[in-house]
Every structure is written in structure tokens, then in C-alpha cells.
Amino acid sequence: MAATQSFDVTTGCDLQEVDNAINQAQKEIKQRYDFKGLKIEIEFRRADNKLVVRAPDDFKLKAVWDMIEEKMVRRQVPLKNLQHGKVTPASGGAVTEEITLQQGIPSDTARAIVKYLKDLKLRKVQTEIQGDQLRVSSPSRDELQGVMQKLREKDFGIELKFGNFRSN
């Protein structure tokens, strides 16, 4: 019997890099002239995987968010894994936005990936959902390379990471 090869498909943000990006953005906010005297807050709720950004108006909120994105790109945090919430009015005419950091593949996206792979009709490729990740296995390593290529080409709305390669 041929040995099976497998790999895991996961997603997520490195929370330490997100924290570093937020700290850099806060330092820049303190030094920027156009933000002098304004009440701008960036709160990182690590336990909830959320960012809360507060600014005096929509324009300043957008400027702060652009700065945060720039810092995250430099630190290689995938922006696809950031889900923006609604901009809500806060006290004193300010606005607040909540951004959720995607950690793990959501079940509906996992099912969409499994369906996509089944529709490709690849021989001997099996996919199983394991919590917030997927395991793809096949006797052929070439088939697995093809699966990775197909998954990179298709946009599922999140950044996919491939790891934990095994030979069973």
C-alpha cells in the first residue's frame, strides 16, 4: 500500500506582529501634526482578536486606518484576515470602528474549499475539516502540489497558509 502524503490548510494573524504594528502606529499618531490635540485611540483586544479604532470623524478614522494597514503590511500581517465592522457614532461626535482578526478558517469557508476541491475532480485527493483547519491528503505528492496551486489561484476571502507536511 502506498504511503499517503498530507498537509494542513490554516489561516491566522501573528498577534505579536499585530501588537507591534499597533504600537508603531500609536507612536506615529503622537508625532503627526495633523493629529495634534485630537483624541484618537487604537485598542487591541488580544483575547477577542479585535481592534477598536476611535477618531473624531470619518476622515481621521480613514487616515488612522491607512496608517495601521501600512504598519501591518511592513510586518507581513495578512490584510485579507481583517474584517472591518460598521463605523458607529460614539460620544462627542467621534466615530468607532471594530476590526476582527480572523484566526482559523471559518466553517462556511472550509466547506467552500472542500466543495471547490471536489468540483475539481482530482483523483485520490481527500479533504477533511478538523476544527478551524483543513487536512488534504493524497498518495501523490504531485497531486498535493496541484491542490496548493489551485487554492492559491482561487480567492476565498482569507489568506491561506499551508503547513504540517507529512508522509504517513
pLDDT at 141: 83
Determine the pLDDT at residue 74: 92
2 DSSP assignment: P
In this predicted structure, what is the pLDDT of residue 1?
46
pLDDT of residue 70: 92
Residue range 49-81, pLDDT digits in tens: 899 998 888 888 898 899 999 999 998 888 888
Q: What is the mean pLDDT of residues 91-96?
A: 84
Average pLDDT score, the chain: 86
Amino acid 123: pLDDT: 77
The model's pTM: 0.78
CATH class belonging to 15-101:
alpha beta
User: What percentage of residues in the chain have a pLDDT greater than 90?
Assistant: 7
What is the C-alpha to C-alpha distance for residues 120 and 80, in angstroms, rounded to an integer? 24
Q: What's the pLDDT at 6?
A: 85
Q: Which CATH number fits domain 5-12+105-167: 3.30.565.10, 2.60.40.10, 3.50.50.60, 3.30.70.860?
A: 3.30.70.860
- Name which of 82-86, 87-91, 111-115, 163-167 the model is least confident about: 163-167
> Could you please report the per-residue DSSP string of 41-107?
EEEEETTTTEEEEEESSHHHHHHHHHHHHHHHHHTT--GGGEEEEEEEE-GGG-EEEEEEEP-S--H
Looking at residues 25-34, what average pLDDT do you find?
A: 87
d(CA 18, CA 7): 26
pLDDT bucket at 2, cuts 50 / 70 / 90: low
Domain ranges across the chain: 5-12+105-167, 15-101
Topology alike, domains 5-12+105-167 and 15-101? yes
